[in-house]
Structure 1
Amino acid sequence: MRTAPAINWLAKLRHFLQVMAFALMVATLQYAFMPERPYGPPLVYSLLIATLTWAVIDLGRDLFPSAAETGWPKGYAGLALVLAGIVIGYLVGTTLADAVCRYFQWYPPGTGQTTSELRSSILITALAGVVGSFYFYAVNKGAYLQRKMAEARHQANEARLKLLESQLEPHMLFNTLANLRALIGTDPARATAMLDRLNDYLRATLTASRTDAVSGRHTLADEFARLRDYLELMAVRMGPRLRYTLELPEALSAQPVPPLLLQPLVENCIRHGLEPSLQGGEIRVAARQGAAGLELEVSDTGVGCRPTPEPGFGLSQVRERIATAYAGQAHMDWHSQPGSGTCARLTLPLHTP
């Protein structure tokens, strides 16, 4: 059984206040053209006619099936509702306004509107009703189009993030398989251990990806868990040359982030910082709440390098992903010097539940 949508009474009140402002404007214009007459009658007529016309149209349209893009009744029902609102608003509003004007004796006994004034009153009511209805129709349609544009942008960003993520996973896998191939000829036992770790890592990553797809949420705790699995995999190949520290405060563990956001930075630390060094080094991944938001830092004590005009695959991917996910609200700082290691710091908006 289909239930009727809930009525947005706040929107109704906003529409009513807008109609009242429009009615005041109409009454003021009438008085400006006929200053010899009192201001009370046109004000009363305008407010009562406008109120009843608004009530019939704005409240009545919820009784009919409405189009999603406008919120107005479909087909001829919408046109009939506007015409009914104008006619009922004019007839009932005029009757009530006549009674009010006679009660306050704004018109001399036995007098009323002349034929020309009656025609003007009907014309003003018709024009005001049509203009007001078209205004609210256009506003509703504009709001609908804005919502659709926002949804389209969100879906495009989601698709772009998925594309970037799909590029990251093969890149990491190819690098790992290349390392595994090198180990097979030199140290079969470590190659076997690394293959077992790779199986565990892929199984954990696949399970986590499915969970993220269902929940639509990937947290810092999930991201750090994947980093730990990946670093354990790399530790099989590098042995004691690879040391790492993961620092995630409990208060930040539920912060949402794009999946595999930090892994390219960790891969860069291993490939360009620790592997070229005979002594290896340490990788440190830390999360903290800073003055500008959520700060994520990936650093190493490796050989470092000179900044290049063209960033590598990992840095480019991270920059594109935060630009897509956060629309200019996030940025990355990257520093490296020969012999001094490398540090990449991401500043992201802090999510508040």
Structure 2
Amino acid sequence: MTPPRSPDATEKPVTQIDWIAKLRHMLQVMAFALGIAMLQYAFMPDKPFGPPLVYSLLIATITWAVIDLGREFFPSSAETGWPKGWAALALVLGAIVLGYMAGTRIADALCQYYGWYPPNAGQQDPAQLRSSILITAIAGIVGSFYFYAVNKSAYLQRKMTEARQHASEARLKLLETQLEPHMLFNTLANLRALIGSDPQRAQVMLDHMIAYLRATLGASLAPTHTLQAEFDRVRDYLALMAVRMGPRLSYALTLPDDLAACPVPTLLLQPLVENCIKHGLEPKIAGGHIAVSAHREGDWLVLDVIDNGVGLASAPGGTGFGVAQVRERLASIYGAASAIELVAASAGGTRATARFALNL
């Protein structure tokens, strides 16, 4: 018994046989054989349809079995699942010869047994024999090439899907690496502003910030976490901002129990909340209120961040970094199954709404 070889990048690793795929291939081959039998009958309508059908099915099925089962015993290319080099050619040609000889012999016996042919009546003259061999050879080569091309196409499709997935993951990671320093910079800038005006509150804010950053940076190491964890991070951030803004900031968070375990991208809501504070509430002398909520609409998860600040028309600097970040991250993860919109709230201020596919 020869020791197993370690597969290289071009060799298909040893796996269990996919019998469902084998059955699908067999049915396709039988349908192809039926088509050949019907084509033969169309050119010879004066002869019964049974014999060409039996010959065609037996030759095709035996040829398929030798190729499709036999190739499992050869080192195969990862691109096609077929043996490489001369082994593939030898397998196909050998299967065609064996399929023709064994299929013809079994079909002769069956036709004689069921009375379709008297003894020796199924023997063909040289011209018919050459025609049968040629049909078998062409059908075998065409069928083999078809399955070879299908396997290679499926392999290339898998590689394209993997490449798109890797590109999306890299793009998402880039967005996350941009988001975390931005969040840290904003928090430190808020702390710096408070140090000069109220050192005691700055000390309290610093304590909150240390606890908040420890939890947030730990959570950001994973691409997703539960919606409950996301709301907890937002609550921590708003508590931190409440130290700085005092009574100018109030907030409410609403998360239904049945959505708490839903996985979502990390740090998804925080850019929207930062956007509300920076562009909505800070420019407003009286400050205002932020409401963060989640609900379900069919197969969609909907997250709302609403403030009653100065509104879109009066916000200095536009909508900022947050909305663009959330939009790109959702597009990278969910594609077309996501959307984000920024509209004027009915009671004044701004409503940011993110929708994406619900994954429970």
TM over 0.5: yes
2:256 is matched with: 249
User: What are the within-5 Å matches in structure 2 for residues 122-137 of structure 1?
Assistant: 122-137=133-148
Structure 1 residue identity aligned to 2:50: G
Q: How is 1:213-232 mapped onto 2 (pairs within 5 angstroms)?
A: 217-232=224-239
Q: Secondary structure at the match of 2:342?
A: strand
Distance 1:217 1:74 in 2: 43
Q: How do 1:182-193 and structure 2 match up within 5 A?
A: 182-193=193-204
- After TM superposition, the structure 1 stretch with the greater mean CA deviation from structure 2, 311-320 or 84-93, is 311-320
Q: Is structure 2 residue 14 aligned with structure 1 residue 7?
A: no
Task: Summarize deviations over 1:57-81 as a string: whole Å, max 9, x none.
Answer: 1111222222222111233222222
Task: Give matches, 1:115-194, under 5 Å.
Answer: 115-194=126-205
- Equivalent in the alignment of 2:277: 270
Closer, same or farther in 2 for the Cα pair 1:292/1:232, shift >3 Å? same
1:346 equivalent to 2:357? Answer: no
Task: Using the TM superposition, give the Cα deviation of residue 256 of structure 1 relative to its aligned residue in structure 2, in angstroms.
Answer: 2.0
Indicate if the aligned counterparts of 1:244 and 1:284 stay in contact, CA closer than 8 A: yes
SS of match in other structure, 2:21: helix
Among 10, 21, 30, which residue is 2:31 paired with?
Answer: 21
Check 1:42–1:123 CA distance in 2 against 1; reply closer, same or farther (3 A cut).
Answer: same
Kindly provide the amino acid, as one letter, of the partner of residue 61 in structure 1. R
Residue equivalent to 2:286: 279
**Structure 1 residues 337, 47: CA separation in 2 closer, same or farther (over 3 Å shift)?**
closer
Shift of 1:120: 0.9
Q: Is the 8 A contact 2:252 2:290 kept in 1?
A: yes
Choose 105-114 or 185-194, whichever is displaced more: 105-114
Map of 1:84 onto structure 2 = 94
Tell me the SS of whatever aligns to 2:225. coil
Provide the aligned C-alpha RMSD in A.
2.2
Instruction: Measure the CA separation in 2 of the matches of 1:238 and 1:97.
Output: 91
CA gap of 1:328–1:200, structure 2 versus 1, over 3 A, is same
What residue number does 1:315 align with?
Answer: 323
What residue identity is the alignment partner of 1:119?
R
Kept in 1: contact 2:291–2:307 (CA 8 A)? yes
Equivalent in the alignment of 1:44: 54
TM-score where L is the length of structure 1: 0.92
Give the alignment partner of residue 70 of structure 1, picking from 80, 84, 97: 80
C-alpha distance 177-143 of structure 1, shift in aligned 2 (>3 A): same
1:328 aligns to what? 336
Kindly tell me: are residues 218 and 76 of structure 1, through their superposed partners in 2, closer, same or farther at Cα, counting changes over 3 Å? farther
In 2, the alpha carbon distance for the partners of 1:297 and 1:307 equals: 21
SS of match in other structure, 1:257: strand
How many angstroms does 1:337 deviate by?
A: 6.0
Query: Structure 2 vs 1, CA of residues 245 and 94 (structure 1 numbering), >3 Å: closer, same or farther?
Result: same
Instruction: Give the drift of 1:129.
Output: 0.9
Percentage identity across aligned positions?
A: 64
2-structure distance, mates of 1:265, 1:24:
63
Give the letter for the 1:303 counterpart.
V
Provide the C-alpha distance between the structure 1 equivalents of 2:74 and 2:328, rounded to a whole number of angstroms.
47
**1:311 to partner: Cα distance:** 4.5
How many equivalent residue pairs?
A: 348
Residue type at the aligned position of 2:356: L
Aligned-partner Cα distance in 2 for 1:239–1:247: 22
Cα offsets for 1:200-248 (capped at 9, x unmatched):
22221222223x1xxx542212211221221122122112222222222
Give a deviation string over 1:262-314, Cα, whole Å, max 9, x none: 11110011112221223322211111112351111111122323289975321
| TM-score, scaled relative to structure 2 | 0.90
The question of whether the paired residues in 2 share the 8 Å contact of 1:70 and 1:144 is answered with: yes
1:38 and 1:194 map into 2 onto residues whose CA distance is 94
Range moving further from structure 2, 164-173 or 84-93? 164-173
Q: Which is worse superposed, 86-95 or 173-182?
A: 173-182
Please tell me whether the aligned partners of residues 41 and 106 of structure 1 are also in contact (alpha carbons under 8 angstroms): yes
Structure 1 unaligned blocks of 5 or more? none
Specify which of 40, 49, 53 is matched with residue 30 of structure 1. Answer: 40
- The farther-off stretch of 45-54 and 166-175 is 166-175
Separation of aligned partners in 2, 1:325 and 1:265: 18
Q: Distance in 2 between matches of 1:275 and 1:177?
A: 16
